[in-house]
A and B are shown apart, each in its own frame.
Chain A
Amino acid sequence: MISEVLPIMGVLIIISALSIQVRSYIRPIVSTVTTQSILLSIAVGYVGLTENTPSLVLLAILIVVLRGYLLTRILGRRIPLRQMFVREYSHEAVTVAVASVVVFIISFMVYRLAILPAVSDPLGAIGFAIMIQGFLLIISRKNSFAHVIGYIEEENGIVFMGITIAPLPLLIEISVLLDVLALVIVSTLLVRQEIVHKNVEELIG
């Protein structure tokens, strides 16, 4: 049964990742990453229940609470407070959408050629690809909100990779720590800076 549920959740998470990349408005991206986190928590919770691992069930609950609700709610609340726009330039978003599909394919190929022979678990490719999509979002957008969402996506990819390849004994602690970092970023840095990052003379070279 696990072998069916995890791939289904994985595919839905991939679709959510692609959806995040193609959207140029920030608010729907926040909603989509919330959905992605909830999908991940279902996958983690399901593995925890079927393998009788209470720590994974706890992890699923924590993902829903911290990442699915708290973090994205705080993020969502910040958006209307900033009177500027909450939209990336559309031509950039379209370019990135094409790039994200290419990156997805490359991620799967890299996993298949370099990592799969070592770990013998093909589902890890989904987590790996999601993580790379998170990086792509951070690199390709100049918007602070997109950076945080890229970071959350990256976290989701790691947790998915963790539960499919080798569930670490410290996965809960690691996941919570990553969420705390995201909260620190959002609550202390995001509120103090401009939404769009520009080149600054003092920070060049």
Chain B
Amino acid sequence: MNWLIPSLLVIIPSLFSASYFSGRFRELSVISAAVTLLLALAINLLRIKEADFFLVDSLSRILMLTVSSVYLLSTLFALGYHHNLGESRNMRVHLSMMHIFAASMLFSLAVNNYGLLWIGVEATTITSALLLVIEEDALNVEAAWRYVIIVSAGLAISLISIIMIYDAFGTLEISELIAIHHAMNTTVEIAAATALIGFGTKAGLAPMHGWLPDAHSEAPSEISSMFSGVLLPVALFALYRVYQIAYSPGIEQLFLFFALLTLVVVALLLPSQRFYKRMFAYSTMENMALILIGFVVGGIGYLGAVILLVSHAFGKAGAFYSSGNVLSVFKTKRIDRVTGLRDSMPQTSASLLLSALAVTGSPPFGAFIGEIFIFFAVIRHGFFLAAAVMLVTLLISFSAINMKVGGMVFSGPSETMKNEAGLLQRSVAMVSVGISALVTLLYLLAGGM
């Protein structure tokens, strides 16, 4: 019966996508997300393990809970953020596609087959493409176009990885391949390298990241949150699944190289960012690179990667919700046009500032513990140059983001009268940032190391 709850986890949001046809589509959307979250909680509390059609292990359980939580928060946020769309067709399509998008992510996390995993990740592209164009703005469409074209081209390369895995082993069953300790060969190394390029494109690794800042900055804020908070980690999860069977010293170095390259690219681009949503998008790239490093070095680094992944998901979701609230009042994404937030939007400024601190690894947020663990794991492995690159780039990114956000919050008098976003939107942003800090508490309650 272990298959039942994971099945429901995928089926429930898929079924609720039919809420498009109901007059109560808003309520049904919240019910769908809430039930999905309860199912994910049940999977974690019952510690369900499964290795048949589904593969449910500790990592996929945590990710299922994270995806479901951000899905619920984003659904709630969307109801407030797009209230002007009323009962329109666009709003119905948007919420319906959000359910299918969540279902495709949960499917990717649950399946026990590399081919199906690829299908799941590709399905997230199809289902999320329409989510970017709800406002039908020319910029939205251009960003959606870049997203679909670049990501689908990248994922095509990851399909070579799946072909290579099948050629090498004659099966695509993940649990079976992880269980056997096979000898490393060139075919599997090619599989790992092509997966790095393919799934790495979707996970936002440089230099394949071209779509990411565009899509994140132009998507509605709840979709930016789902992209940054959970979609990219799902792609990283797919990459890690390949890495689990394709480990070799050469592949380890290749993965590390791309992760470090991403950190350097982000550190070079972040200080010159002029748009706050775009800035947070680059911050996501930084965090994904750090998580990848944690997965690659393993041990305490793996633990750090998981903590960072969860903490970042909620912290970044909070950052985008807060950005959405700022955008809805200031009507601009430019950093230099948003001033005096502390006076005009006191609650939003608090959630924005806290979320910026959360995603840049400040204590007491979980990202701080995660980054420390990853850093020490890298040093323990003797990768001193990598540790130095991490240290320098993290300092640059931390300074750039917090100085820019600090400027928006504290600088000068506001040109806008006090005018907060809706209560639901503000609450969702604050709850999301709160959960990001709670990750640390939960970790400490669980007995730390």
Give the chain B neighbours of A74 by CB distance below 8 A.
none
Binds A, one of B10-18, B273-281, B310-318: B273-281
Q: Verify B145–A189 contact, CB threshold 8 A.
A: yes
The CA-CA distance from A77 to B122 in the complex, in Å, is: 27
B364 close to A (CB within 8 Å): no
A178 close to B (CB within 8 Å): yes
A173 close to B (CB within 8 Å): yes
Q: Verify A135–B153 contact, CB threshold 8 A.
A: yes
**Min C-beta distance of B392 to chain A, whole Å:** 21
Give the chain A neighbours of B122 by CB distance below 8 A.
174, 177-178, 181
Interface string of A164-194 (1 = CB under 8 A from B): 0110111001100110110011001100111
Given A202-B139, A205-B269; A185-B148 close (CB under 8 Å): yes
Binds B, one of A2-10, A29-37, A82-90, A155-163: A155-163
Give the chain A neighbours of B129 by CB distance below 8 A.
184-185, 188-189
Residue of B nearest to A201 (CB): B274
Give the chain B neighbours of A47 by CB distance below 8 A.
none
The CA-CA distance from A161 to B126 in the complex, in Å, is: 23
Q: Verify A203–B115 contact, CB threshold 8 A.
A: no
Contact for A189 among B148, B162, B189, CB less than 8 A: B148
* 30 A-B residue pairings within 8 Å (CB atoms): A118-B187, A119-B164, A119-B167, A135-B153, A138-B149, A144-B145, A154-B153, A158-B156, A158-B159, A165-B164, A166-B167, A168-B115, A169-B115, A169-B166, A170-B119, A173-B119, A177-B119, A178-B122, A181-B122, A184-B130, A185-B145, A185-B149, A188-B129, A188-B130, A192-B133, A193-B138, A193-B141, A205-B269, A205-B272, A205-B273
Q: Verify A189–B187 contact, CB threshold 8 A.
A: no
A23 close to B (CB within 8 Å): no
Give the chain A neighbours of B123 by CB distance below 8 A.
177
Q: Verify B156–A202 contact, CB threshold 8 A.
A: no
Given A118-B187, A165-B163; A197-B145 close (CB under 8 Å): yes
B77 close to A (CB within 8 Å): no
Given A170-B116, A173-B119, A180-B126; A189-B163 close (CB under 8 Å): no
B172 close to A (CB within 8 Å): yes
Interface string of B144-176 (1 = CB under 8 A from A): 111011001100100110111011000010000
Other than the given A174-B119, A205-B273, 12 more pairs (CB < 8 A) read: A114-B190, A117-B186, A118-B167, A138-B149, A144-B145, A174-B159, A177-B119, A178-B122, A181-B126, A188-B130, A203-B142, A205-B274
Q: Verify B152–A181 contact, CB threshold 8 A.
A: yes
Q: Verify B272–A131 contact, CB threshold 8 A.
A: no
The CA-CA distance from A88 to B269 in the complex, in Å, is: 32
Interface string of A143-159 (1 = CB under 8 A from B): 01001000100110010
The CA-CA distance from A145 to B326 in the complex, in Å, is: 37
**Min C-beta distance of B211 to chain A, whole Å:** 10
A115 close to B (CB within 8 Å): yes
Chain A interface (Cβ within 8 Å of chain B)? 114-115, 117-119, 128, 131, 134-135, 138, 144, 147, 151, 154-155, 158, 161-162, 165-166, 168-170, 173-174, 177-178, 180-181, 184-185, 188-189, 192-194, 197, 200, 202-203, 205
Interface string of B230-270 (1 = CB under 8 A from A): 00000000000000000000000000000000000000010
The CA-CA distance from A114 to B164 in the complex, in Å, is: 13
Residue of A nearest to B162 (CB): A168
Main secondary structure of the interface of B (DSSP, over half): helix
B371 close to A (CB within 8 Å): no
Give the chain A neighbours of B148 by CB distance below 8 A.
181, 184-185, 189
The CA-CA distance from A83 to B333 in the complex, in Å, is: 33
The CA-CA distance from A168 to B162 in the complex, in Å, is: 8
Q: Verify B167–A200 contact, CB threshold 8 A.
A: no
Given A119-B164, A193-B138; A147-B149 close (CB under 8 Å): yes
Give the chain A neighbours of B29 by CB distance below 8 A.
none
B217 close to A (CB within 8 Å): yes
The CA-CA distance from A158 to B116 in the complex, in Å, is: 17
B25 close to A (CB within 8 Å): no
**Min C-beta distance of A96 to chain B, whole Å:** 17
**Min C-beta distance of A148 to chain B, whole Å:** 8
The CA-CA distance from A161 to B274 in the complex, in Å, is: 43
Q: Verify B153–A138 contact, CB threshold 8 A.
A: yes
